[in-house]
Chain A
Amino acid sequence: MTDVSIKISHKSYLSPDAEEQKTVIKNLDISLKSGEFVCLVGPSGCGKTTLLNTLSGLDKKYQGSINFGENDIQANIGYVFQNPRLLPWRTVRENLALATNASDDVLEPLLELMKLTDVQNSYPEQLSLGMSRRVAIIRAFAVDPELLLMDEPFVSLDPPTARQVRQLLIELWTNRPHTILFVTHNLREAIALADRLIFLSASPMSVVTEIPVPIARNQRLNESEIESFRAKIFSDFPEIASLV
């Protein structure tokens, strides 16, 4: 694994209605340490998904550089989209094998860890949303990515299921540490997961502030710890209240 450096000086797109270039990202500078879990927190529509698409190589039209260690070549990226994006006509196992080319030795422990062994031969339509999202997480981990992007992967899950999948994600990440960039607008979720929080401004997006999360990993299930740190952030950085 390598450190990741993201410097995007300018990213815009042609707005379909206004027929003019709209600047989405301006002077964005983010560095990720190898194996770090970083949450990006910002208001809806600020350009978080655009940033992830840029990092994943899906969108190549930007000014700036994205470096993985010494290289500026496209690294191996895992991407957990907002929707699981599984092929409905392939079973869970086939979806994983197609996307990752991973061997059984890699996939089976992952399926077991995410409690999906029993449904590996089911089709996505036969799974609950929570299960589908777990499959999408396995897919991203199985490519052994140098950077793992997660775009609000627990949105629209009910709170108990979201909590369960978050817990499984942390177990997986502890077992197989990867550098993760996790997008959310849920500050409690971000505190529960991240080593460091990066707050982003509204469009055009740039970094407002970065805050390390000092809560020990074994204390992250303690909701009072999460709440007290959340209150501390709002008191120390009042400008953040408008971003979450």
Chain B
Amino acid sequence: MDTSLHPQKLSVLSVLIFFGLWQSLAMLIHSNTFPLPIVVLDVLWQEISNGQLPYHLGITLIRLAISFTISMIIGCAIGILLGQYKQLNAFFDNWLVIFLNIPALVTIILCYVWFGLIETAAILAVVINKVPNVVVTIREGARTLDQDLMEMADCYRFGKWKTFLHVVWPQLHPFVMAAARSGLALIWKIILVVELLGRSNGMGYQLHLFFQLFDVASILAYTIAFVSVIQIIELFILKPLDQKALRWRR
């Protein structure tokens, strides 16, 4: 007899066990710093009802969208160039290593010191942190482009734009998706720090406020909201994009 559970049922079961464990631990510890799930859900509902959460979440998502888009465009362009031109890569490789190893906090502080506590500095700090990661991922993809297909495109006179669109970009797709996924995870974490340090709105600002008040229920409520939004982006934007782009695979 097959006793294995359907993956979807297993997924629901794992979430229920997670909340069950949380409930048990919270009851055991019985402290304001470790609230019950029901308390967190109640706070979440109140914050949604009074409009505070949608406002701050919206602001953070706008920052995320802008910095994500800029990082992906710049990172993809540089990554393709470095992957295709060995000499350019040899020259900029050390720069890349330096930028990859600068702590995010340093970049954020420097951007605020140099440009002031303005929106542009906040976005710039996120972009500077993310671009090197995108470059490294896309560079690997650009290095492994199928030369046979490139020759075919050359021989049949595709031209640069057609070659990029129909030969290069589809080959880079898995790398772009990997960079996008890791990018989303990294960017939203950096954005929270950026907001915490120098903005007067957004999730990071709110979390800072709750920290000062030791309001753990609100911190968890905002975290649940944000993680849910990121999951929705994955489910309704990234996965369909993946399925559409890879429909040719058997």
- State the A residues within 8 Å of B (CB): 53, 56-58, 77, 79, 81, 83, 85, 87-90, 98-100, 123-126, 139, 143
Contacts and interface: CB of A to CB of B under 8 A. Distances in A.
Contacts of B162: 98
Contact of B250 (A83, A85, A125): A125
Interface residues of B, number: 16
Given A90-B166, A125-B250, A85 B158 contact: no
Contacts, number: 45
A232 B179 CA distance: 64
A179 to B, nearest CB: 17
B166 A58 contact: no
Nearest to B148: A85
A87 B167 contact: yes
16 contacts: A56-B155, A58-B151, A77-B155, A79-B156, A87-B149, A88-B248, A89-B170, A90-B248, A98-B162, A99-B156, A99-B158, A100-B156, A123-B248, A124-B248, A126-B250, A143-B156
A86 B231 CA distance: 36
A53 B148 CA distance: 12
A98 B158 contact: yes
Interface string B226-250: 0000000000000000000100111
Interface in B91-145: none
Q: Is the interface of B mostly helix, strand, loop or mixed?
A: helix
B155 A79 contact: yes
B152 interface: yes
Nearest to A143: B156
A81 B240 CA distance: 35
Contacts of A85: 148-149, 151-152
Contact of B166 (A98, A123, A143): A98
A57 B248 contact: no
Contacts of B148: 81, 83, 85
Interface in B159-192: 162, 166-167, 170
Contacts of B166: 87, 90, 98
A85 B167 CA distance: 11
B249 A87 contact: no
A58 B155 contact: yes
Nearest to B149: A85
B154 interface: yes
Nearest to B153: A99
A53 B154 CA distance: 11
Contacts of A88: 248-249
Contacts of A81: 148, 151-152
Contacts of A126: 250
